[in-house]
Amino acid sequence: MKVLSLWSVWIPTRKSIQWVLQLVIVLLVWYTAPLVFDLPQGNSFEIAKSIGLMLVLALVAFVVVIAVCWWLLNRMLVALALPGTGDMVLYFYELELWEQVRVCFGLFALFVFAAVGVIVAVL
């Protein structure tokens, strides 16, 4: 006889409520920013106000992209059966000093190559 378990039902936790609230805040900013920067029609002042709107919407889009990338990174680590980011930080501190310096120089080189790639893509 199978018993229906209520523990398998999703129970909201503090972390899940926090994610939902952050999503709601992002959506509110996304949809209310054009109303805050109410653009008059046919005025030269319209261009100056639209710059602020574009900055706000770009910031919201950037935050959403960063959150999606972080979620994908964590899902990839789980799928590959690798330790989480917190464990990797602890393992990093267990390395010898010269190994830590090597990792830092490698990450710096990756950031430099990424920056050069972005500059080349923009040009």
Residue 67 has what pLDDT? 87
Q: What distance in Å separates the CA atoms of residue 59 and residue 55, rounded to the nearest whole number?
A: 6
pLDDT of residue 109: 96
Q: What is the DSSP string of 38-78?
A: -PPTT-THHHHHHHHHHHHHHHHHHHHHHHHHHHHHHHHHH
Average of per-residue pLDDT values in the chain? 81
Positions of the chain with pLDDT lower than 50, given as ranges:
1
pLDDT tens column, 78-105: 888 888 888 888 888 899 999 999 999 9
Nearest to 29 by CA among 62, 50, 57, 48: 57
Global pTM value: 0.56
